[in-house]
Amino acid sequence: MTAGDTIAAVATPPGVGGIGVLRVSGPTVRAVASVLLGDVPAPRHAAFRAFRDAAGREIDRGLAIYFPAPFSFTGEDVLELHAHGSPVVLDMLLARLVQLGARLARPGEFSERAFLNGKIDLAQAEAIADLVNASSEAAARSAARSLAGAFSQEVHELVEALVALRTHVEAAIDFPEEEIDFLADARVRDELAAIRSRLANLTRNARQGALLQAGMTLVLAGAPNAGKSSVLNALAREEAAIVSPTAGTTRDIVRAHIAIDGLPVHVLDTAGLREGGEAIEREGMTRARAAMARADHVLVVLDDNERDHDVASLLSHVPADISRTLLYNKIDLTGRPAGEFVTPAGVALAISAKSGAGLDALRAHLKHRMGYQPAGEGGFIARRRHLDALARAGTHLDLAAEQADQRAGELLAEELRGAQRVLGEITGAFTTEDLLSRIFTSFCIGK
Ligand code: GDP
């Protein structure tokens, strides 16, 4: 099964390297190989060959590996060329491949063909991108497990359980003369409850996986000069933000990407929160509020030297539905013990960005607030799209339970079908063109 034309791309990153890899996939791969290399190498053997231009001149020489369909990544005939990692050489080779009838691959097109040819499902295809883009060891390990099918397998087992239950329900609907009041049968509801709890388990794991994939967005807010930039620097352990003793200098939002025990955290440092100020500062505050509205968590930083904090007024800037923590900074000057303590406004943390006291407690606190537990061996990577599908499946199952209570067999079967359909969106059993193109265009070229 092929997608029609033959595609080619440089699969290694742009720039100079020891080796550069080109990939060609499609129905004319054998023809391309015989002209470019002089022959079609034996399947799955590394063959040392000259790569020749139209005039028969050698562009480069290197390894050529031929993977005949269907035993290739895409499921089509694939040729891999390992040339020297020179952008000029790779460009010449790519131009030669195009001359031989291949077309430049779109981003993610190799993976898309692998999906369309049934070599991998959609969750596995996404795991390839997540593995390539992993920002931590934990994320890479989880992506590798998803790619190996750990996530898909669990989804698949759930779907099978749903199908089995639905078949049972539909059989009972189809043969009413049997007069079995199947819905009075506790087994239907027990099985439904068991599926619901498996789904809840899977959702918990997927949430961890999505955290590893997307990370959390943390906003640092608080009065000017409280030490927001210093806290960001301390967390990032680098001079990511400009730290200045003049109040109101952090006017724009600084972004830093850090990892706390493998969990990616995107930190936004905002302009100081205070009333009035010059126009540019008010603009900064508007942005700060917009950033907080998109945050997973807000750290409200206070200077522990200052005794008359208007905590309520500061907290009023944080959107009501966003979780927040009060962070009392500069305890190296006040002598307050580092770590968590309780205030009338809730749990607070005492730290010193300068001495580093309390930073470990802050990291632990952030992980806890995100509901993060280090992924065990069973962890896998997941995306918001998956979480959304799992949530919708949960809604269908809840409605199914209600229908079971009402003895409404047809409606129960309908909800089970609904749950099955949304779970199928995860693996790609049910997809739309639009979803596929959104997923694969986020890949890089050559993948
Ligand atoms: P921002 O305006 O909230 O971003 O505050 P900055 O990070 O720019 O810090 C304001 C001033 O406080 C700077 O002079 C920092 O060196 C100082 N500062 C920040 N954190 C601490 C701390 O933990 N202890 C002490 N002693 N000074 C700090």
Query: Which pLDDT band, with edges at 50, 70 and 90, does 239 fall under?
Result: very low
Match 């949960």 to its residue by tokens: 394
What pLDDT is recorded for position 308? 79
Strand partners, 40: none
- CB of 226 within 6 A of ligand 1: the answer is yes
Contacts of 205-208 with C-beta under 8 Å, sequence gap 24+, read 205/154, 205/378, 205/379, 205/380, 205/382, 206/151, 206/380, 206/382, 206/386, 206/387, 206/390, 207/371, 207/382, 207/387, 208/371, 208/372, 208/373, 208/375, 208/379, 208/382
Q: In this structure, is residue 1 part of a structural domain? A: no
376 C-alpha to center of ligand 1: Å? Answer: 38
Q: What is the ipTM of this complex?
A: 0.98
Rounded distance, CA 142 to CA 152, Å? 13
The tally of domains found in the chain comes to 3
315 and 365 belong to one structural domain: yes
Q: Does residue 226 have a pLDDT over 60?
A: yes
Closest-CA residue, ligand 1 atom 27, reads 330
Q: Is 228 annotated as a binding-site member?
A: yes
Q: Does residue 336 have a pLDDT over 80?
A: yes
- CB of 332 within 6 A of ligand 1: the answer is yes
Rounded distance, CA 320 to CA 78, Å? 54
Mean pLDDT of 230-242: 71
227 C-alpha to center of ligand 1: Å? Answer: 4
Choice from 219, 220, 228, 230 to test ligand 1 binding pocket (greatest atom count within 8 A of CB)? 230
pLDDT digits (tens, 9 = 90+) for 168-224: 888 888 776 654 566 667 888 899 999 999 999 999 889 888 888 888 889 998 888
Rounded distance, CA 49 to CA 152, Å? 40
Q: Which residues constitute the domain of residue 34?
A: 7-120
141 and 234 belong to one structural domain: no
pLDDT digits (tens, 9 = 90+) for 68-127: 999 999 999 999 999 999 999 999 999 999 999 999 999 999 999 999 999 999 999 999
Sheet harboring 17-25: ordered strands across? 47-52, 58-67, 78-85, 17-25, 7-10, 103-104
Highest mean pLDDT pick, 254-268, 286-300, 350-364, 378-392: 350-364
Last residue of a domain, one of 369, 402, 420: 369
193 and 254 belong to one structural domain: no
Q: Does residue 162 have a pLDDT over 70?
A: yes
Residue 303 has phi, psi (to 5 degrees) of: -85, 115
226 C-alpha to center of ligand 1: Å? Answer: 6
pLDDT digits (tens, 9 = 90+) for 10-64: 999 989 999 999 999 999 999 999 999 999 999 999 999 999 999 999 999 999 9
Q: In this structure, is residue 363 part of a structural domain? A: yes
365 and 273 belong to one structural domain: yes
- CB of 251 within 6 A of ligand 1: the answer is no
185 and 159 belong to one structural domain: yes
pLDDT digits (tens, 9 = 90+) for 133-150: 887 788 888 899 999 999
- CB of 270 within 6 A of ligand 1: the answer is no
Q: Does residue 233 have a pLDDT over 60?
A: yes
Q: In this structure, is residue 220 part of a structural domain? A: no
Query: Please, are residues 149 and 106 in contact by the beta-carbon 8 Å criterion?
Result: no
19 and 111 belong to one structural domain: yes
What pLDDT is recorded for position 247? 53
Q: Is 272 annotated as a binding-site member?
A: yes
CATH number at residue 279: 3.40.50.300
Closest-CA residue, ligand 1 atom 20, reads 227
pLDDT digits (tens, 9 = 90+) for 276-296: 455 556 676 777 788 888 888
CATH number at residue 420: 1.20.120.430
Q: Is 248 annotated as a binding-site member?
A: yes
